[in-house]
Structure 1
């Protein structure tokens, strides 16, 4: 007449729920994406991402130090240059804003937290694409690889512990790995954006990096309808030498995170992207949801799906709350 199994017993108190909790979030599993802009006198708020700014080099240094002090797993750096050109030459300039930000971060934190750098041309090209264009205006995969290889070496020499090729060019991991090793940077880690989708959820990011994008990226980023293709992309990157693989975006692709976790024998990262951030912030600003609980639940769901590492704009806030 009464249930034999009573799972509610294990939910009776906060201490009991904590004792049996299956998935946890620790600051060391979180990476803070940061935008460092050239030519700013003070940090510039990003309107579509409340609470996130384009940093000056000085304000970024303070953020690096705070990240290390809070025990964050790392920072992922994006550069916002004042000037762009067709081939993204600022990306391979040792004095370009991204490479200077890398050097600043490494000088500030040493090895206390992991310094990661986005390895892509989209912030540096005047057309906003992730690679150089051919005579027909299409992204030239193989010509782009040669620039990526140079970027990888410059970023490693600037102090990056991790380079993150995010352009979804075929063969990018192998080409970057070969160039890094040839230059003596055998310890530099490659975090491959292995399954990066042509998503609507990147909208606020375009403001954050002052994107000049003309057209779209559907010819090289993945079709949101495809799941098996993501696994294929991951396996190719692993075969080319990726040390960590990433799924981007995260919340609409939790099934892909789970699929990749089953297939990959390396750490799996997921990027809680700008649109996912902004939707929560916008709903919370209207009083429609409990902001802190929504943030925690979002990141917890990414971890529960199988991500070992979560890139999130809430990393610092979550780490403070966990303390």
Structure 2
């Protein structure tokens, strides 16, 4: 989806359409969760501090996030996916991989399928989507960003290596800012540069990821579309308008977060043994405190352990964010049924 959270807010608030808008934070504090394309023209992007965003664009509109609304629309979009294939691997509320090699419509063209899905999303939700089409997940993801917003692109097997050789290293899906900087320090600025280094060299410099980098620049990515991903944790958190100073304030503000975690537990049926408390201080430093129980925790235990972790040691600084998480969940691979991955035959013309 294109600028999903921001686009939903502009959809529901016509007076905000065509104007620079961000979701999350306010002009005084917080962090940008999503930025409209109008805001991006000012150099504003997600994860930027709201203060800096407001400085870049004084007339910027700040919208509070409404995750229930985003989830509602995400569900509608996912229903459209399932009209075409059951091999859907959600990455987030606004993004997913689809294997359409064999599809419910019997269509031979993945390009046509992508176009139909985008048209149906627009018709059903009023939102724009972009799509990437290729023979593996890595290339499809890169293609999905080529013609944003409201566009699509295809990378064919015979085009892949030439395309990747010219691609700047920072545009490779899965290569973040830190890794890109490390590669650039080694003289790797694009795919062609990356291709010149041996597997042995890349493994020495990047560990297990070296094999991944060696393969992807050659268009090789064997990761299957996984219709069921195993959840590793469940959590909720909140960033506060004003920093919390006293333990009483922290307890009072921790309880609604606890209630949200319990709501998600009840909805999902998940249980866990490890309770974690996340603290982000006013200076943006992070601390996590955890406790693992011998048995799966019930509601009362989760709250009691949360309080225990809060009081475990002195809180040294004002707190701007509190979070609670549950891990060591009662989910195993044996409990999840994975669809059979479909093989993709390519024929020479």
Which range, TM-score by smaller chain? under 0.3
Structure 1 length as normaliser, TM-score?
0.26
Structure 2 length as normaliser, TM-score?
0.24
Structure with max Cα Rg: 2
